[in-house]
Structure 1
């Protein structure tokens, strides 16, 4: 069974039936799966429960309907299966911080988020729970030469990464092959800004500002594999990591390095990549 395809089809089914009653039972039955297995699969794939997802998509749809002055807010509430005007208003305010009435009267613009994509990564079943596939591994001490900069996840993060990657490749042999590393560090609490080093595992001296050769220390890590832009998989990675800690009974390591993203080919930053997150090496791990 292609689990990713099942969830992708479920997202399309939900999107096309937001104005009809939807439940865990009805969606699971559509795909001939038990509600218990479908719930675990959907939660693991999307990082939220089915009911939370349906609510989010109905609220997103309501943003367009609110612009249609021919529809009352009560009509919109019933059309999207909120039951009452009051329950629609409460859910809307929790999601967006303002009421539907404020959006309509004051012309407040809230961008409508498109239907999300399913993050592609291997999964496995542990003790009846579906989780992303992970492994415990030592990240060996590695010398990396690269360019340092800052990114803000609320800005054009992807373009900035690519532009700095090209800046590095312009200053070294463009025929260089092999892996590249994107090292994220020093994220302040409640901040979206990161320090980043984009580099290759070589000792290349470039005497220009912001170019460095550094040694990444040996780290004990949890390793995950993903396909897709890291900005798009952010919330899913957070959920995957929380599930990993719960199931593996591990603890996060306090480290300046938040995570390391490793691509196998420096010239293909659209490919599947590995995520390494530092964790504490517990006594049980030391015995292995």
Structure 2
């Protein structure tokens, strides 16, 4: 089963369990990747977070139930996993713009969201600078925070840890101990073993001894698709990141391996610019890392 089929398999799983408690980790297993990677791919390819898609589908189906003479609002709320009418009302209004109690009125307009389907789409001929490299395991040192929940909700804690690292001198310290051959500061999004959370690291590759509050992690050996962002603005790098997931990956013959994502930051003089993005990959159809 290829990459597109796996994504569609995940959508089928969601449809079959819309009235159950949906767990991101279980959905991601259908697509054979980590929860973080699945949420990231989904958001890039559809333009909405996974949680919002599930809410829209549930609230679309809830309309038909509410129009039925046999179901009360509390019964519909419970069917779709809402344990209070207030929570259900809030979710319903966020999708349809009206209260669920108004659905039966003549002339009331509601939204309808059909299940999505992933397909191979050929877009413009603009190139991406990419190389495939297999790297041995290496040690990174830095500071980290745990991240939970939706991919879209991770931006604020990441922004906060960067502010702290710049203010308390951590960035300066990391640059001092960075290995000479290391390209620069490394943002590492590393899945925890249970895939229910992730650790986000601001780090450098180094063999230097460390002391608190710095911590160390080992990035295992992987095959990487390495995309060059050199000379691009921050907005351009965001667009390129979207294209990597939505255009390059589905047509590349590779799929996500369950390793960390790494962004390489520029050397001194162009602070804040991302030079490279490293995507852990494996040949499509394989069940584990090629390392």
**Higher RCO (C-alpha 8 Å, min separation 6):** 2
TM-score by length of 2: 0.44
State the TM-score, normalized to the length of structure 1: 0.44
